[in-house]
Amino acid sequence: MAPQEQPSRASITPPTTNTRHFSEEEDRSDDEYQPAEDGSGLSRVMSAAEDEDRDYTDALENIEIEIERMEDGEQEGADTEQDNNEISPATTCGTYGQRDDFTAIRRRRRTTFSEKLMWRRLGLDARPNTSKANRLLAQELVPSSSQADRIIHYDSRAYCGQFSDDGNFFFSCTQNFKVQMYDTSNSYNWKYYKTVDYPFGQWTITDATLSPDNRFLAYSSIRHLVCLAPTDPTDFSDHTLLDLTNFASDLHGPRQSRTRYGYMGRSGFGIWSLRFSGDGREIVAGTSDHSVVVYDLERRCSTVRLSNHADEVNAVCFGDKSSPHILYSGSDDQTLRVWDRRSMAAGQEAGIFVGHTEGLTYVDSKGDGRYVLSNGKDQMMKLWDLRKMISPSDFAQMDLSPYTTNFDYRFSPYDEDDYRPNPNDCSVVTFRGHSVLKTLIRCHFSPPGSSNSRYVYTGSEDGKVWIYNLDGTVKAKIDVTKATRNSRPRVGGEGMYEYDTMGREHGWKTCVRDASWSPTAPVLAATSWNGYNAAMGTVTQHSWNDGAEDDEVDPQLRGSYNAQLVAQEEYNQRRRETRARDNGRLRSNPVPRRRYGQDEDGDQDW
Percentage of the chain lying above the pLDDT 70 cut = 66
* One domain for residues 226 and 256: yes
Residue 365 lies in a domain: yes
Statement to judge: residues 554 and 443 lie in one domain: yes
- Residue 443's CB is within 10 A of a number of other CB atoms, namely 28
The beta-carbon contacts of 234-242 under 8 Å, at least 24 apart in sequence, are: 239/196, 242/218, 242/283, 242/295, 242/297, 242/300
User: Is residue 50 pLDDT above 60, yes or no?
Assistant: no
pLDDT digits (tens, 9 = 90+) for 240-294: 999 999 998 877 544 444 445 544 456 679 999 999 999 999 999 999 999 999 9
575-585: pLDDT as tens digits: 667 666 666 65
Choose the final residue of a domain: 140, 175, 206. Answer: 140
Determine, yes or no, domain membership for 566. Answer: no
User: Rounded mean pLDDT of 211-239?
Assistant: 96
Q: Is 570 within the bounds of a domain? A: no
- Decide if 92 is inside a domain: yes
Look up the domain containing 98 and give its range: 11-140
Residue pair 99/454 in contact (Cβ under 8 Å)? The answer is: no
pLDDT in tens, 159-187: 999 999 999 999 999 999 999 999 999 99
Average pLDDT for 552-566: 75
pLDDT higher than 70, residue 79: no
Closest CA to 147 of 557, 483, 477, 476: 483
221, 253: one domain: yes
pLDDT for position 558 = 67
Total domains present in the chain: 2
What's the pTM?
0.79
Stretch 465-489: mean pLDDT: 94
Q: Does some domain include residue 309? A: yes
Confidence class for position 110, pLDDT limits 50, 70, 90: low
Contacts of 247 (CB under 8 A, 6+ apart): 260, 301, 302, 305
Segment 433-443 mean pLDDT: 98
- Higher-pLDDT residue of 471, 256: 471
Same domain, yes or no: 384 and 407: yes
For residue 337, CA distances in Å to 277, 310, 331, 351 come to 18, 12, 9, 6
What is the pLDDT confidence band of residue 30, given thresholds at 50, 70 and 90? very low
CA distances from 593 to 100, 111, 208, 412, 599 (A): 49, 44, 56, 41, 12
Which pLDDT belongs to residue 250? 74
What does the pLDDT average to over 68-78?
Answer: 41
Predicted local confidence at residue 111, as pLDDT: 66
Using the predicted structure, report yes or no on whether residue 517 has a pLDDT greater than 70: yes
pLDDT surpassing 60 at residue 62: no
Amino acid residing at 276: F
Burial of 36 (0-12, 13-18, 19+ CB in 10 A): middle
Residues 293, 317: one domain? yes
For 521-554, give one letter per residue: b (16+ CB within 10 A) or e. Answer: bbbbbbbbbbbbbbbbbbbbbbbbbeeeeeeeee
226 in helix, strand or coil?
strand
User: Last residue of a domain, which of 105, 122, 140?
Assistant: 140
Inform me whether the pLDDT recorded for 328 exceeds 50.
yes
Co-location of 97 and 212 in the same domain? no
The answer on 188 and 112 residing in a single domain is no
Residue 505 CB contacts under 8 Å (≥ 6 apart), including other chains: 496, 498, 499
Q: Is residue 35 predicted with pLDDT exceeding 50?
A: no
pLDDT, one tens digit per residue, over 253-266 is 444 444 455 444 56
Q: Mark whether 170 and 68 lie in a shared domain.
A: no
89 and 174 in a single domain? The answer is no
Boundary-marking domain end, from 86, 106, 140: 140
* Same domain (yes/no): 224, 95: no
Q: Rounded CA gap, 58 and 548, in Å?
A: 42
**How far is the C-alpha of 42 from the C-alpha of 476, rounded, in Å?**
36
Q: 158 or 141, which is more confident?
A: 158
- Is the residue at 4 inside a domain? no
Mean pLDDT of the chain: 79
60-64, 105-109, 113-117, 173-177: least confident range? 60-64
Q: Determine, yes or no, domain membership for 536.
A: yes
Side-chain half-sphere exposure of 128, counting CA atoms within 13 A: 0
Question: Does 285 share its domain with 383?
Answer: yes
Q: Does the residue 573 lie in any domain?
A: no
- C-alpha dihedral, 138 to 144 to 149 to 155, nearest 10°: 120
